[in-house]
Amino acid sequence: MLTKFESKSSRAKGIAFHSKRPWILVSLHSSTIQLWDYRMGTLIDRFEEHDGPVRGVDFHKTQPMFVSGGDDYKIKVWSLQTRRSIATLVGHLDYVRTVFFHHEMPWILSSSDDQTIRIWNWQNRSLICTMTGHNHYVMCAQWHPTQDLVVSASLDQSVRVWDISGLRKKHSAPTSMTFEDQMARANANQADMFGNTDAVVKFVLEGHDRGVNWVSFHPTLPLIVSAGDDRLVKLWRMSETKAWEVDTCRGHFQNVSSCLFHPHQDLIISVGEDKTIRVWDLNKRTSVQSFKRENDRFWVIAAHPEINLFAAGHDNGVMVFKLERERPASTVYQNQLFYITKEKHVRMYDFAKNTESPSMLSLKKFGAPWMPPRTLSYNPAERAILVTSAADGGCYELVSLPRDASGAVEPTDTKRGSGNSAIFVARNRFAVFTQSNQQIDIKDLTNSTTKTIKPPTGTTDIYFGGPGCLLLVTPTAVVLYDIQQKKQLAELAVTGVKYVVWSSDGLHAALLSKHNVTIVTKALQQISTLHETIRIKSATWDDAGVLLYSTLNHIKYTLMNGDNGIVRTLEQTVYLVKVKGRSVYCLDRASRPKVLTIDPTEYRFKLALIKRNYDEMLNIIRNSSLVGQSIISYLQKKGYPEIALQFVQDPQTRFELAIECGNLDVAVEMARQLDRPKLWQRLSVEALAHGNHQIVEMTYQKLRNFDKLSFLYLATGDKAKLNRMEKIAEHRGDMTSRFQNALYLGDVENRIEMFKELDLYPLAYMTAKSHGLEEEAASILEASGLAKDQLTLPKLGDPIAIPQASVMTHSANWPVKSTSSTAFEKVLLGQEGDGDELATANGYDEADLLEPDTTGLNGDGLEETEEDGDAEGWDMGDDVEAEAESDFVNVEAADAGAGSSEADMWARNSPIAADHVAAGSYETAMQLLNRQVGAVNFKPIQWRFEEIYQASRTFLPANPGLQPLVNFVRRTVSETNTRKVLPLIPRDLESILATELVAGKAQMRTNKLEDGVKSFKKILHLLLVNAVSSPTEVNEAKKLLYTAAQYTVGMSLELERRKLINNSVDISTFSEDIKKRALELSAYFTIPEMDPQHVTLALFSAMNFAHKNKQLSSALSFANSLIEKGTNAKFKENARKIKAICERNPNDVIEIEFDQFAEFDICAASYTPIYGGSPSASCPYDGSKYHSKYKGTVCKVCEVAQIGAPASGLRLFV
Amino acid sequence: MDPYSAEGELVNIHSAFHQGQFQKVIDFDTSSFSSENELPARILKLRARLAVCEYSEVASKLKGDTSSPDIIAASILAEYLKAPSEDSKAVAKAQSLAAKEGDNLNVQLLCGSVLAHSGAVEEALALLAKHQGSLDAVALIVQIHLQQNRLDLASKEAVNARKWAQDSLLVNIIESWVGMREGGDKYQAAYYVFEELAQATATQSVQSLLGQAIAELHLGRLPEAEAAFEQALQLEPENGDVLANLIVLNTILGKDTTDAKSSLERIKADHMLLVDFTEKRSEFDKACDKYSPKFEA
């Protein structure tokens, strides 16, 4: 039992749950009615209008009101909105015991000590029915949840079932009714002794030996449960016509006060004055659970109509509780979720396919019935699960999962034991913690203890702590414990940790307690912690290192730095198990997997910001509507004004941000737009701080701040500007300013002039005098009409020179740290160009790549498989022998000497040359190649031999002091039969297609023919010594082989041509022979079978070459072919032009040996045509054709095989 | 009490040795060990120093020390490893010591190593067969069998060891060696053993990381193997075995290996990979000679 809420008060007599809100009404013996929020644990309101104890309360199912009945004989109806009593129903003549609203009619049912049950209409506040018949206090009366029935319990020892259909008919909306109908209705119900047909007794259930305190209907079945002072709980069943006692639940040893059916499960719950809550199995009528309170007698019990909650009222208040944990036991391994359903079946959910497996196991017999397993731990190596249950003081069971989910089978081979927690700590070890004796046992898979650990005292739970470690949870701390070294590695003070969730990379863990999430590293260093006011239920890690957690009503996220926020709200509590992209996978309380969609943009953005992953940020900004005021203020708050700047349009905000991040250029731009003095003012201060006096100057000008401007010019030594300032001052007629400027300029005459203008002759005189301008002084004296001796002068010192700026900085700014564009800005700017380039490049490559993939199957495949079948038949026979032999080998035969290595097996198992190479048997490999493709020259493929050999062996250091153990790398990874193992051959077909072929074709396109020839020859060599994985691939390989040979020939002869004429276009200077040959070669280049776009290239170059050299007939034919087959519109356009020109005079200057209409091959050695019918030889490997005179020499194309040698064909597949 | 049992003094140093944490062994504080465990601990430390190639240091330190056959055996091994060859004087010394003190476990292990390394496999096996319930000896025997390609015998030894030593660390490691030859599901099992050692900070070592990486390579999980090699290289950038195996991986991935090869040549010129490579090259040339290609002039 899990207590969720407890209140302290006087005796609680009546309880009601609100169906939607987390509210509970409690009526007390002290005349008060309390309204509690049991989730937050707060008292919402008190209602105190009753006089004396209040025994019954009920919420209305849909309307904001409730009803109460008390010992003042009154029934009161209350409004939840005004929190006032809105009606008082008077009529009972003694204590009112219970009151209930009808689920659809505006009725209230009340039972009273006056021996009556009454039905009231709360809308018109009238009594509509009085049911009499009990001859003692009626303790309880309840509506049937669906039918027109009422059940009542009385101290007269009987339970009565009443039929109220008459009442219902009477109060239904009046319909037109014939007289007959009315008569029929009047007679249908047998009138009771008072002639009352509205409510009649249907059944009287007698069986209790003492008074009956409580009775309730089953929510769906025709069952009734009653509880009485005879300490019994009785179960009754009824049909249309009768009702009978089914069974009795014995166990209470004092009066039973209240009882009810579990709303969803086959359980009965009863409470009594023996201070116990008891849970009974409805089907077996056996006790399932009981809970005892020390001092408080229980008076009443109520069930929440929807969720799995109960409330019981006792002598000192109320308790709200759950019978069992609703957290489904589950565990995630890679893409699989293993969980236990409500039926205790083990199931698997596949995140990749989003499918739920059928049940794999049934754990019906595990733990106690009605008690779901608590935890589940999965071991992928053994495919086993470890389940724990709280039953019997804690027990665990180790079960291996079946290979295929075939239904809820009972597990066959189980290991079990007792303990509170059990988790896998390694592939073949699990830890079992027993709280009672504070001991952790490390056990192996046979369930025998291999090690025992004494955890720190007060340990309450254990969790996986990373490889070889455990996290021990105590009420105040978490301890990281190394199992092997048996010591504490770290300890962290965190209180009340209940769950531990590891990130998928195993580097971080989240410690969840009721209201806190603490994120720690794997070394138990705290990274961040956060507090939630509402209960935290579960958490899971995003792959990027964001923790998502669920509270009772939200899914939230937290980043490592403690930033958190709400992702979405929840309608019902769920337990998160995994996040993948926009999907959150979770289990609900019914243990069903659910997928919720979330918008991860916000936390991804914040994460990208922290990691300074600007590409990602940009991507998010582009693809979502994230940017808003909130994100800007977030960026600003977090100290990223420069990034925020990128998103803002509003000039005012932009200005603020620019000032903040010191981006003066932007600030100036924005200030110009806005042009407000205040902004200029701020800009000037900021620019001055930067030493950017050009901007300062500009702002001062804008602000017309002349004084400061002058001073700035003085400071920067800008004499010319100072002079201008003086002019301006004169123009403005501002004497002070003029004087100041003159002072700055050291312009004495001007100053004297000014004093004279202002009639300040003494000052003028003094100025002149002090600067040694005697003449001037004399003239002033004269002008003022004074004589020299009339004046008393103070002693004069030397005139002070005006300090000058030592460095003339006005021409340029102070060297300011350049406002380098941030990485983010760079990304912003650079993005587009790069992206486009990439896209085009990709476009080409993909187009080329696609070709080889589209090759279909052909008949050859069939042959191969048949061969295989035969071979397998033989192998089978050998296997049997081998096994028989090995049985006789025993350890004593150790002196039998060395055996044959796996490499030898490879050579034995395979007819493929590559496998022999890997085996190190070069000689046989060469033999094979010689037989299969007539290979004679092995030098060009030496590198390939070495590559394969080198990739076939690994070196595992074993005992120090000895050579490392050589192990053999297989391509048949899952094969263990030594007759079938084969070596890994590096560079499979797929990688050749993806690398060399793509490179070769790109080189063709980009006209790097030397490299192209190398690439295609490399393909030929790679394929020659190789192995493929299927007959289909054999065909693909052969096709590739042909392609490579064709390209090699084509490119080689084009290279030959270029060599011949030194790459020039104009060949008029060459001899006739060379001219002819060059023209021929250029024509032959169009013959090899290349991709259409490459043939187009060849045709185009041949056409141009012919056209330039006046071979108009040839050019015409190439142009025609180009128009017909070409893939390039521009080329075609050209071709049409040339065609038009050539058609006027289709003649060749030089006769060349090229008949465009004849079928012929090109000799790969002489680059001359071999017409059909003339003798020729071909390379047994790549199939290139030669004139018969080359027979016996090494092929020019592959450089390995001997032309015309007898060959059986290359084997690539076993 | 068995000093190697779970509660014994030697268990941690012994485990560390077999997990390849040689530095940890060398630094191990053995001052509190009881007197009868002092010598085995010292030998373990010497073996660890040999494992990190301090051959000359060990040899000179032990020179003339004849206090016990164990020490003599250690000095023989040091002398041998300094210049391993079949006709080294150390081999003869080992043979004579083995004849005299054949019942001493450390003599078995150390001289057995010398003999096995020098190619006197039968003698080594005969010497090691005298062991009485020593997993170290079993480990050597298994390795010798594997080097002889007697997988059947090796796996029998491993199965036997499992019977009496249950689930000790070394048994797991031995099984992994055997498993790496058997292949199939055993690759995965071996991977688990190595990974378990390699990924726990307390037991991590280049050797276990390398084991993990090789197992992954054999399982065809190349990117994972590459990551494990990286991890190993971070721990010890100049480890010959790591480099050699990395060359193998890169070859499989089709990457260029010339740089790696030249650095391997610098670090450990006598590594099997390089020796083998040169050998094979001459074999290739020999095989080529059988064919006389004719080129068109």
Q: Do A965 and B177 touch (CB under 8 A)?
A: yes
Tell me: the pLDDT tens digits for A132-144?
999 999 999 999 9
Q: Do B272 and A964 touch (CB under 8 A)?
A: yes
Q: Per-residue pLDDT for A856 more than 50?
A: no
Q: What does the mean pLDDT of chain B come to?
A: 86
Q: Do B152 and A886 touch (CB under 8 A)?
A: yes
Check residue A218 and give its pLDDT: 94
Tell me: the pLDDT tens digits for A1161-1200?
888 888 888 887 788 888 888 888 888 888 888 888 888 9
Q: Do A468 and B247 touch (CB under 8 A)?
A: no
Q: Among A123, A80, A83, A116, which residue's Cα sits nearest to residue A98?
A: A116
Closest approach of chain B CAs to the CA of A636, in angstroms?
39
Tell me the mean pLDDT in the region A397-413: 81
Tell me: the pLDDT tens digits for A939-975?
889 889 988 998 888 998 888 878 888 888 988 888 8
Q: How far apart are CA A509 and CA A500, in angstroms?
A: 7
Q: How far apart are CA A692 and CA A814, in angstroms?
A: 6
With contact defined as beta carbons under 8 Å apart, do A92 and A52 qualify? Answer: no
Nearest CB to B294; choose among A467, A956, A1192: A1192
Confidence of residue B6 (pLDDT cuts 50, 70, 90): low
Instruction: Kindly provide the ipTM of the predicted complex, given to two decimals.
Output: 0.94
Q: Do B284 and A965 touch (CB under 8 A)?
A: no
The domain spans of chain B are: 133-182, 187-266
Q: Do A961 and B77 touch (CB under 8 A)?
A: yes
Check residue A314 and give its pLDDT: 94
Q: How far apart are CA B163 and CA B151, in angstroms?
A: 18
Tell me: the pLDDT tens digits for A1055-1092?
888 888 887 777 777 888 888 888 888 888 888 888 88
* B153 part of contact set with chain A, CB < 8 Å: yes
Q: Do A955 and B245 touch (CB under 8 A)?
A: yes
* B281 part of contact set with chain A, CB < 8 Å: yes
Compute the C-alpha angle B83/B17/B57, nearest 5°: 35
Tell me: the pLDDT tens digits for A509-527?
999 998 899 999 988 999 9
Question: Which residues neighbour A72 within 8 Å (Cβ) at sequence distance 6 or greater?
Answer: A50, A51, A52
Tell me the CATH number for domain A2-169+191-322: 2.130.10.10
Contacts of A926 in chain B (CB under 8 A): 287-288, 290-291
* B28 part of contact set with chain A, CB < 8 Å: no
Residue of B28, B123, B150, B279 to mutate when probing chain A, most A C-beta within 10 A: B150
Q: Do A949 and B280 touch (CB under 8 A)?
A: yes
Total length of chain A: 1214
Check residue A185 and give its pLDDT: 53
Contacts of A938 in chain B (CB under 8 A): 284, 287-288, 291
Residue of B77, B288, B292 to mutate when probing chain A, most A C-beta within 10 A: B288
Q: Do B251 and A984 touch (CB under 8 A)?
A: no
- Helices A1009-1024 and A1031-1060 pack at an angle, to 10 degrees, of 150
Candidate CATH numbers 1.20.80.10, 1.25.40.470, 3.40.50.10890, 2.40.160.20; the one for domain A651-790? 1.25.40.470
Q: Do B294 and A975 touch (CB under 8 A)?
A: no
Q: In this structure, which amino acid lies at residue A604?
A: R
Encode A100-114 in three state secondary structure. EECCCCCEEEEEECC
More confident residue, A735 or A280: A280
Contacts of B283 in chain A (CB under 8 A): 920, 922-923
Tell me: the pLDDT tens digits for B73-128?
888 888 888 888 777 788 888 888 888 888 888 888 888 888 888 888 888 888 88
Contacts of B20 in chain A (CB under 8 A): 957, 960
Tell me: the pLDDT tens digits for A870-911?
444 344 433 333 333 333 333 343 445 677 888 888 888 888
Q: How far apart are CA A654 and CA A647, in angstroms?
A: 9
Q: How many CB atoms lie within 10 A of CB B292?
A: 8
Question: How is residue A930 written in tokens?
Answer: 């010689």
Q: In this structure, which amino acid lies at residue A213?
A: N
Q: Per-residue pLDDT for A633 more than 80?
A: no
Q: Which fold would CATH assign to domain B187-266?
A: 1.25.40
Q: How far apart are CA A468 and CA B197, in angstroms?
A: 9
More confident residue, A824 or B96: B96
Closest approach of chain A CAs to the CA of B67, in angstroms?
23
Scan residues 207-246 of B and list those with Cβ closer than 8 Å to A: 207, 210-211, 214, 217-220, 241, 244-245
With contact defined as beta carbons under 8 Å apart, do A214 and A140 qualify? Answer: yes
More confident residue, B53 or A47: A47
Closest approach of chain B CAs to the CA of A975, in angstroms?
5
Q: Do B273 and A926 touch (CB under 8 A)?
A: no
Residue of B111, B152, B187 to mutate when probing chain A, most A C-beta within 10 A: B152
Q: Is A430 exposed, middle or buried (0-12, 13-18, 19+ CB in 10 A)?
A: buried
Confidence of residue A76 (pLDDT cuts 50, 70, 90): very high
In chain B, % of residues over pLDDT 90: 7
Q: Do A467 and B156 touch (CB under 8 A)?
A: no
More confident residue, B160 or A78: A78
Long-range (24+ apart) CB contacts under 8 A made by A923-927 are A923/B283, A923/B287, A923/B290, A925/A1025, A926/B287, A926/B288, A926/B290, A926/B291
Q: Which of A835-849, A952-966, B106-120, B220-234 has the lowest mean pLDDT?
A: A835-849
Check residue A876 and give its pLDDT: 40
Check residue A879 and give its pLDDT: 39
Contacts of B157 in chain A (CB under 8 A): 891
Backbone angles phi, psi at A784, to 5 degrees: -85, -5
More confident residue, A1143 or A629: A1143
Q: How far apart are CA A525 and CA A546, in angstroms?
A: 17
Q: Do B177 and A900 touch (CB under 8 A)?
A: no
Q: Among A1166, A1162, A1203, which residue's Cα sits nearest to residue A1182?
A: A1203
More confident residue, A638 or B70: B70
Minimum CA–CA partner of A890 in chain B: B153
Contacts of A946 in chain B (CB under 8 A): 277, 280-281, 284
Q: Which of A198-212, A297-311, A635-649, B132-146 has the lowest mean pLDDT?
A: A635-649
Q: Which of A366-380, A608-622, A1105-1119 has the lowest mean pLDDT?
A: A608-622
* B263 part of contact set with chain A, CB < 8 Å: no
**What residue ranges in A72-211 does DSSP mark as E strands?**
75-79, 84-89, 96-101, 107-112, 117-121, 126-131, 138-143, 149-154, 158-163, 200-206
* B267 part of contact set with chain A, CB < 8 Å: no
Q: Per-residue pLDDT for A16 more than 90?
A: yes
Q: How many CA atoms lie within 13 A of B1 on its CB side?
A: 11
Closest approach of chain A CAs to the CA of B36, in angstroms?
23
Confidence of residue A1214 (pLDDT cuts 50, 70, 90): confident
Residue of A489, A956, A1195, A1202 to mutate when probing chain B, most B C-beta within 10 A: A956
Q: How far apart are CA A267 and CA A370, in angstroms?
A: 9
Cα torsion A477, A478, A483, A488: sign: negative
More confident residue, A46 or A1159: A46
Q: Per-residue pLDDT for A190 more than 60?
A: no
Contacts of B167 in chain A (CB under 8 A): 428, 444, 450
* B159 part of contact set with chain A, CB < 8 Å: no
Question: How is residue A277 written in tokens?
Answer: 């809550």
CA distances from A439 to A376, A1021, B5 (A): 20, 66, 21
Q: How far apart are CA A924 and CA A930, in angstroms?
A: 10
- Counted across chains A and B, CB pairs separated by less than 8 A come out at 224
Tell me the mean pLDDT in the region B209-227: 90
* B89 part of contact set with chain A, CB < 8 Å: no
Cα torsion A351, A355, A358, A362: sign: positive
User: Of A39-43, A1069-1073, B246-250, where does the model show the most confidence?
Assistant: B246-250
CA distances from A659 to A646, A691, A890, B211 (A): 14, 14, 86, 57
With contact defined as beta carbons under 8 Å apart, do A722 and A810 qualify? Answer: no
Scan residues 93-152 of B and list those with Cβ closer than 8 Å to A: 110, 113, 116-117, 121-122, 125, 129, 139-140, 143-152
Scan residues 31-60 of B and list those with Cβ closer than 8 Å to A: 47-48, 50-51
Contacts of A487 in chain B (CB under 8 A): none
User: Of A230-239, A728-737, A790-799, A1204-1213, where does the model show the most confidence?
Assistant: A230-239
Q: Do A976 and B210 touch (CB under 8 A)?
A: no
The domain spans of chain A are: 2-169+191-322, 651-790, 996-1190
* B23 part of contact set with chain A, CB < 8 Å: no
Nearest CB to A485; choose among B202, B251, B294: B202
Nearest CB to A975; choose among B48, B183, B295: B183
Closest approach of chain A CAs to the CA of B213, in angstroms?
10
Evaluate whether A2-169+191-322 and A651-790 have a shared fold: no
Check residue A893 and give its pLDDT: 39
Q: How far apart are CA B269 and CA A1077, in angstroms?
A: 55
Q: In this structure, which amino acid lies at residue A51?
A: D
Closest approach of chain B CAs to the CA of A618, in angstroms?
29
Closest approach of chain B CAs to the CA of A1176, in angstroms?
15
